[in-house]
Amino acid sequence: MPSVNGATIVNLGDVFVSALSTINPEGDGGAVNLLSNSNLSAETIDASGLVNGGNITVTADEIDLIGGSTSVISQGELLLQPLNPAQPIAIAASSNQLGTLTLKTSDLAALGDGFSQIVIGRDDSSGQIELLETVTFVDPTSIQATGTGGSIFTPFTISTSGNLLNLQADGRISVSDITSNGGGVEIISNSGDVAANNITSNGGDISLTAASDPTGINPAIAFTSLDSNSESGAGGAITLTAQGDIVGAAGGMIALGSAVGVDSGPLSVFTPGSVEFNSFSISSNGADLQIGDGTINPTAVAIAGNVSTGGGDLRVNSTGSLEFGAAGNTSQTLGGIFELTAGGSILLFSDGIETNGGDISITGSGIGIFTDADPFVAINSTGGVGGNITITATTSGINLGASSIDSGNLIRLNAATNANVGTLTAAGGDVEIGTEGFSFPQTVEIGGTVFTNGGNFRASSSGDIVFSDFLGSANTSGGIVTLTAGGAVLLPDNGIFSSGGNITINGSTVATVFTDGLTTLNSVGGVGDITIAATTNGIDLNGSAINSGGSIDLDAAGNINTGSLTTDGGNITIGSENLPQTVAIAGNV
């Protein structure tokens, strides 16, 4: 297609352009380049073409577009910039500002729709670019001050009509509200920090990138709310990338995903600094949430508030400590994976973690809950296909108090020191505490009941295993029970029932948890054997009954004290390995 020649005007004084046209009705429009070291005024500039428009570049100390609405048009790029890189720029002013390249509200109104991009500022601008009034950009727009020390300050709302908005500076970028009707929002500070209030993209991607505050006063990225959720289509991704700390303001939120269930972009947070979202809510409507990726992980993470993924996965990584949740709040993934991984301790604050079938994995140096008058957190993966729950304390203990753990499948707890939990319910899998391949916990304390619905229950400890709740019990409904301790095994008052599964208990001492307590060991319902061994002391079950569907084998270095012993045709053996000092049976055999 034919093209037309462009137009270039360079003048060291004032420039006035009445009507400049490089229009081409048959092909591409010609480029326009206007430059002045003083004031440049233009009534009309038209570089449009049948297919592509020509680029328009206007460079001056002051630019006045005086032709009225849509008097500057092209399908190409429009660049408005000062001649001096250090000159500040004011956008949407009511009148010209002395010593500043001022793009008045009337100048912006002169820009017609259809530019491929509008760029304000030089690629080496080192002054401040400031927004003086609310403004709307229809075309893709970039505001740049990437020269050394350049900054952007927009205390008023910026709106877009669905196209990309890009803000980039060398230094600090501080913005108020930004609203986009589906277009992306990119904010990049090459050497400084980013501070944002509320950014809403209605399905567009949101990306904040910063180095760090050179003064050390402000976080690298600070914001109040980021919302890329879409009511009608795919939600946009939200990406936060910094070299320093990232902070969400108290009372703020992150929202993303799709209200109509369309696959949407994730939340991704990358920084070697800390991440802090206090008194904060995060909802993703099906999108994934990820903080740290195993390569770039924060040194500490604190998330205090509601977290809901609506089916998306949640993964949080920290090289240091990790605090998650807030009292009165339940974190939900509705089928998605829930994964917390920390090089330091993990502290759980929320009233509950629910995945509705998604796996739950919590790994840290130690696992605990916030200590208050009634420390409790419910960890639940039931529903859906039933998720596994794995909790690992690599150098310290698991201290969940009376907290309950309900799994749709497996429960596996590993700790380097103590493991202290409440009720354990595995609806379709095993309960394992201190499994092979990991150092046994020093003590295991279960402050509730254990139920597996056919799965096995295994607990190992280098020290004691204690059922500390007065109403505690264990029921496997056919699964085996294996309790192995280097110290004492103190059995629950309400008994252990396996419905045909073997029951094997080994410890230095085997006794009821309360000195006057009675318990029942029962494997009736199949051919399950019951084997109890006290390696250095005795078996002291008071008058507790042992009922076996198979055999009963009791072995102790000290005394044996039990109640009735009953088998369904199996043998009863006392002292097969060691001869006990005394045997007292307070009941029938």
DSSP letter at 4 equals -
> Is 522:495 a contact under the CB 8 Å cutoff?
yes
Local confidence pLDDT in tens for the 589 residues of the chain: 233 456 767 766 666 777 676 776 666 778 899 999 999 999 999 989 888 889 999 999 999 999 999 999 999 999 999 999 999 999 999 999 999 999 999 999 999 999 999 999 999 999 999 999 999 999 999 999 999 999 999 999 999 999 999 999 999 999 999 999 999 999 999 999 999 999 999 999 999 999 999 999 999 999 999 999 998 899 999 999 999 999 999 999 999 999 887 889 999 999 999 999 988 999 998 999 999 988 899 999 999 888 999 999 999 999 999 999 877 778 889 899 999 999 999 999 877 899 999 999 999 999 998 655 455 678 999 988 789 999 999 999 999 887 899 999 999 999 999 999 999 999 989 999 986 556 688 899 999 999 999 999 999 999 999 999 888 999 999 999 999 999 999 999 899 999 999 999 999 999 998 766 677 899 998 889 999 999 999 999 988 999 999 999 999 999 999 999 999 989 999 987 878 888 888 888 8
Residue written as token pair 């240091």: 320
For every residue of 103-162, DSSP letters joined together read: EEHHHHHTBPTT-SEEEES-TT--SEEEE-S-EEE-S-EEEEE-STT-EEEE-S-EEESS
pTM for the full model?
Answer: 0.92
Residues 447, 452, 456, 462, Cα dihedral to 10°: -10
d(CA 152, CA 173): 5
* 344 dihedral zone (left: phi>0; alpha: psi -120 to 50; beta): beta
Q: How far apart are CA 503 and CA 518, in angstroms?
A: 17
Other Cβ atoms within 10 Å of 429 Cβ, number = 22
